[in-house]
Amino acid sequence: MKKMIVIAVLAAMSVSASAMSYTQAREEALFLSDKMAYELNLTLEQYEAVYEINLDYLMSISVKGDIHGIYWDRRDIDLRYVLDVYQYALYKASKYFYRPVYWKNSHFTFRIYERYVNRNVFYHNRPNGYISYRGGYNKRPYSYYSDKPQAHLGSRLPIVNGAGRYIGGSAGSNKKPKNTVANSQASHNQAGVQPKRSTSAGSKNSHFGGHK
């Protein structure tokens, strides 16, 4: 009996040790969403939604089996509603977006850092949800994004001085970002990678309420 209790305690410790805190999940979701916004050429509305979806996913994984489990499926379903056909194809073809997390040495590992080696480089201001959203949309029985307006038909997000690391501010703010980076491509080229940005202006064949 005592041995079983010890085993149960150790199992609980392994789960809690591998679960992400809200703070860590928020930072990882921000970095991933910023790069998705850049490469997929998202609108402001899409960027907000993608951040929420990524945060929900990261806050829902606790053990290795969660990585490609039901919450990964829910993330993919939600993104099908948010992205247009062209953007979704690019997302699915990019493993660092499509399957952003993998298990290595008993830890969650993020593929996005294999492509973007400088963790201080951002292309856009923070989404408004970075401050206000704390997760939970993916716990609903249906996609929160299934009946939203055609977000992909809005204005494309501007690039912040080519790229920028900012303190404060939000995606909808006109506040000039701080600590901007004049040439982010130099950081990417250190890893021999030149990330490209989609020129898609959005497809009218799918939208926030129909791409399934």
Does position 134 have pLDDT exceeding 80, yes or no?
Answer: yes
182-209 pLDDT, tens digit each: 233 334 444 444 566 665 554 433 345 4
Over the stretch 76-110, which tens digit does the pLDDT of each residue have? 999 999 999 999 999 999 999 999 999 998 889 99
> Considering the chain, what percentage of its residues have pLDDT values greater than 90?
51
Q: Closest by alpha carbon to 103, among 112, 111, 93?
A: 111
Average pLDDT, the chain: 74
SS3 101: strand
Output the CA torsion 102→108→114→120 (10° steps).
150
| pLDDT of the residue at 194 | 54
pTM of the model: 0.71
C-alpha torsion angle, residues 167, 168, 173, 175 (rounded to 10): -50
Residue 123 makes CB contacts below 8 A (sequence gap 6+) with: 34, 35, 37, 38, 159, 160, 163, 164, 184
pLDDT at res. 70:
93
Residue 178 — very low, low, confident or very high, per pLDDT cuts 50/70/90?
Answer: very low
Stretch 58-76: mean pLDDT, rounded?
92
